[in-house]
Amino acid sequence: ISLPIPKEKVAINHNTEKKLSGAVQSDRLPIFINEPLNDIAAAKAIAQQNNKLVFAVIYDEKHHSKSKLLHSLGCFMEYLTTKKLVEEHFVSVLVSSNQPGAAALVPEDDPLENCLWVVLSNTGEMILREGVYANPDEGLKRVRDVISKYL
């Protein structure tokens, strides 16, 4: 069987832009239900007004993989249950380490090979800081642990 060869080229969409918000099911992308903020000070103010915690993820914008942001955070937040808990109990903020307020949250010896998860209380106090685990079970467990301890 021979197939006719098309004379015109088929358009292929090479758009690699990843959407970070708009999640309605369990999956690595989109990561969040609603768009995360990109300003730590604004996230702190909203958290204080709404009695929520700040869920901050910090990455190195200059790192070739952006600190494994899509992989690590995508896995951590893969379950829809995790996404819903984060949406309900936290003000999410996703910032580059060079943004105001972010550098102070990154340990001096952390080269940000992996993105960093920082949880702030509604008064702005740091209550947790660790690398983002690329594991959906750990993501759900850790988010639940923070909620049970601090809310």
Degrees, nearest 5: CA angle 130-137-95 = 40
pLDDT reported for residue 98:
94
What distances in angstroms separate CA 105 from CA 51, 74, 118, 137, one per listed residue? 21, 21, 8, 25
Q: What is the pLDDT along the chain (151 residues), one digit of tens a residue?
A: 555 554 444 343 333 356 788 888 888 889 999 999 999 999 999 999 999 999 999 999 999 889 999 999 999 999 999 999 999 999 999 999 999 899 999 999 999 999 999 999 999 999 999 999 999 999 999 999 999 999 9
- Kind and range of the H or E run holding 146: helix 136-150
Q: What is the DSSP string of 101-116?
A: TTGGGS-TT---SS-E
